[in-house]
C-alpha cells in the first residue's frame, strides 16, 4: 500500500524503474534520475519500487540501489539473479523484498521464470541467506504447479507469476488459455500458503484480466508505464495504471469461502 494511502490496499502496484535508468544510460547523462522517479511514483500511488540490478549493469547500477533504499517511504523490491555476488549485495542493502529471477546476459528482458525445480539447492540456499538478514524473498516463476511446489519447499513466502505468455498471446483463444493457467497457478499458490504476485509484459490494455484475479496481491509493471509517461507524464502514467488495476479488482470481488 502507498504511504499516501495507508489503509489496506485492494491490489498493490510495484513500479519497476529499470527503464528510467535505461533512458539515462543511453546518453551517459545523470538524468532522468531513477531516485526522483521512485519518489514521484510513490506520490502517485505506487505501493513498492521494483528495480533489477543486472550482472552487466545495463540499467540500474549499484549506486542507484544505494541511493534509493534509504529514501523510500514504501518498500524496495530488489530483483536479483541467484548468484553469490547478487545475494551478498542484497544482504548489504537489505531491501524489504528481494525477488530472485533468472538472468541471461544477452536477453533483452527476462525471458521466463526461474527454474526452481532444476536449481533447487542454489535457490534454497539463497532464500535462507536473504531471510537470515530479515529480507522477504519472492521467486519469479512460471505459472506451473511443480515450480510453485518447489518454491514453497525452498522456503520462499512469496511467488511472482510470470505473465509473459499471457501478454504475448497471438489471439483471444491463446490469451484465454494463458489467463486460465495463471488463475490455476494463483489458486495453487494460495493453497500452499504463499503470497502471490504477478508481472511481466503487462500494459494498459491487458492488465485488467490479471488484476481482476482476487488472490493476486501485487503486480509489478515497468516498461509500459515508462513508455506511456513519454506522452502523459510520469505521475499520470503511474496513477492511470493503479486506477485500472483497482477498477478491475472491484469489478470482480473475491467470492466468499
Burial of 23 (0-12, 13-18, 19+ CB in 10 A): middle
- In the set 59, 162, 200, 228, the catalytic residue is 200
Between 53-62, 99-108, 213-222, the lowest mean confidence (pLDDT) is in 99-108
What is the reported pLDDT for 256?
60
Q: What is the pLDDT of residues 145-157, one digit of tens each?
A: 999 999 999 999 9
Q: Catalytic residue at 170?
A: no
Catalytically annotated residue among 79, 144, 178, 188:
79
**Mean pLDDT computed over 160-171:** 97
* pLDDT (average), residues 102-116: 72
Give yes or no for residue 31 having a pLDDT over 60.
yes
Question: Is 1 exposed, middle or buried, given 0-12, 13-18 or 19+ CB atoms closer than 10 A?
Answer: middle
Which is catalytic among the residues 52, 59, 162, 228?
52
CA distance 96 to 183: 27
Give the CA-trace dihedral at 179, 193, 46, 207, to 10 degrees: 0
Cα dihedral 93, 239, 108, 70, rounded to 10, equals -10
- Say whether 200 is catalytic: yes
Structure confidence at residue 7 (pLDDT): 43
* pLDDT category of residue 112 using cuts at 50, 70 and 90: confident
Active site residue 79: yes
Mean pLDDT of 144-171: 98
Q: How sure is the predictor about 172, in pLDDT bands with cuts at 50, 70 and 90? A: very high
Residue range 91-113: mean pLDDT, rounded? 82
In this predicted structure, the answer to whether residue 88 has a pLDDT above a threshold of 90 is: yes
Q: Look at the block and give the residue holding cell 488484476.
A: 211
Q: What pLDDT is recorded for position 9? A: 73
Model confidence at 232, pLDDT cuts 50, 70, 90, reads very high
Joined grid coordinates for residue 64: 542507484
- How confident is the model at residue 242, as a pLDDT? 97
* Mean pLDDT, range 69-79, rounded to an integer: 98
**pTM of structure:** 0.93
State yes or no: pLDDT of 179 exceeds 90.
Answer: yes
- State the average pLDDT over residues 18-31: 97
Amino acid at each position: 500500500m502507498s504511504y499516501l494511502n495507508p489503509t489496506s490496499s485492494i491490489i498493490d502496484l510495484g513500479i519497476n524503474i529499470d527503464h528510467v535508468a535505461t533512458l539515462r544510460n543511453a546518453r551517459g547523462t545523470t538524468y532522468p534520475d531513477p531516485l526522483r522517479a521512485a519518489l514521484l511514483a510513490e506520490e502517485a500511488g505506487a505501493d513498492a519500487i521494483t528495480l533489477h540490478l543486472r550482472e552487466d549493469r545495463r540499467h540500474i547500477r549499484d549506486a542507484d540501489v544505494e541511493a534509493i533504499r534509504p529514501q523510500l517511504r514504501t518498500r524496495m523490491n530488489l530483483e536479483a539473479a541467484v548468484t553469490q555476488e547478487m545475494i551478498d549485495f542484497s544482504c548489504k542493502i537489505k531491501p524489504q523484498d528481494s525477488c530472485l529471477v533468472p538472468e541471461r546476459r544477452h536477453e533483452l528482458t527476462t525471458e521466463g521464470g526461474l527454474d526452481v525445480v532444476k536449481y533447487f539447492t542454489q535457490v534454497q540456499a539463497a532464500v535462507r541467506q536473504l531471510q537470515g538478514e530479515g529480507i522477504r524473498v519472492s521467486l519469479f516463476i512460471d505459472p506451473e504447479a511443480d515450480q510453485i511446489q518447489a518454491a514453497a519447499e525452498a522456503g520462499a513466502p512469496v511467488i511472482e507469476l510470470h505473465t509473459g505468455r499471457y501478454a504475448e498471446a497471438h489471439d483471444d483463444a491463446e490469451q484465454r488459455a494463458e489467463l486460465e493457467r495463471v488463475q490455476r497457478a494463483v489458486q495453487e499458490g494460495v493453497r500452499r500458503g504463499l503470497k502471490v504476485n504477478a508481472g511481466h509484459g503487462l500494459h494498459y490494455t491487458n492488465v485488467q484480466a490479471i488484476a481482476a484475479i482476487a488472490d493476486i496481491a501485487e503486480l509489478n509493471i515497468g516498461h509500459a508505464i515508462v513508455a506511456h509517461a513519454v506522452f502523459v507524464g510520469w505521475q499520470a502514467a503511474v496513477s492511470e495504471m493503479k486506477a485500472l488495476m483497482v477498477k478491475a479488482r472491484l469489478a470482480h470481488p473475491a467470492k466468499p469461502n
